[in-house]
Amino acid sequence: MTALRRRETLTSQLTRTLTGRIAQGMLKPGDKLPSEQELIEEFGVSRTVVREAISSLRAAGMVATQQGVGAFVQADALTQPFRIDEANLDLLKEVISVLELRIALEAEACALAAQRRGEMHLAAMRVALDRMEAAIEASDDAVSPDLDFHRTIAEATGNAHFTHLFSYLGALMIPRTRLQTFRFFADDRAEYLRRVNREHEDIYQAISRQDSDAARSAMRLHLSNSRERLRKAMDQGSPSQS
């Protein structure tokens, strides 16, 4: 068993390990990744860690998943032109920096999405919100539907540059995949995620109405809430991760 080390970085360690195997040709384009159970047994991690790592690879465009079949390495898995050092994302300060990047990008993307979205985009956003709600109530991993919601907004802009950038940033842009941020938002994890989803609902409603100003403001508020609470946590001292 190739056990991973510190709990707060298990997802990023597993993501880097799998990325390394792809880069080294151990996993080639078209190859199927090991199953969830195989990864759990090899690395000694939980199913949630495995799913978050696969979500990170999928969001980065390195793998594609097929329901009930598994994850497969993409042909262009290693052709990403933009890089952020993921190791730094284990630091609260760097997570805040990425949130600032998100505010700049996603607020304007949301305004464009409100102008240009189609019914298919609204339907995909609705599915993502419903999946996230169901995951929250089941105490399950809600990262994947969260990513899908934000990715659909990027797609709804009709601007491929937003979509390509989001495909790289992916899970790097969802801070709770690197830090247990619900600790800073509420005493209860489920309540924190419900609050996140209520903010998503406000964004969805503004996009649905094609109200660009409201959509921009709702996204900015959503991301700024995360940033300000994390800033407060940083001022109080870096949290211990377990």
Q: pLDDT tens across 9-29, in order? A: 688 788 888 888 888 788 888
| pLDDT average, residue stretch 197-222 | 96
| pLDDT average, residue stretch 203-215 | 97
Q: What's the chain's average pLDDT?
A: 80
Count Cβ atoms below 10 Å from residue 9 Cβ, excluding itself. Answer: 18
- Non-local CB neighbours of 5 within 8 Å, separated by 6+ positions: 13
| pLDDT average, residue stretch 216-222 | 95
Inform me whether the pLDDT recorded for 167 exceeds 60.
Answer: yes
- Residue 205: what pLDDT? 97
Q: Which residue has the higher pLDDT, 186 or 209?
A: 209
Least confident of 76-90, 169-183, 186-200: 76-90
- Residue 8: what pLDDT? 42
Identify which of 23-27, 43-47, 106-110, 191-195 has the greatest average pLDDT. 106-110
Measure the CA–CA gap between 152 and 216, rounded to whole angstroms.
15
Inform me whether the pLDDT recorded for 38 exceeds 90.
Answer: yes
Inform me whether the pLDDT recorded for 217 exceeds 80.
Answer: yes
Inform me whether the pLDDT recorded for 54 exceeds 50.
Answer: yes
| pLDDT average, residue stretch 99-111 | 91
Q: Is residue 234 very low, low, confident or very high in pLDDT (cuts 50, 70, 90)?
A: low
Inform me whether the pLDDT recorded for 177 exceeds 60.
Answer: no
Q: Are 213 and 158 in contact (CB under 8 A)?
A: no
- Residue 242: what pLDDT? 28
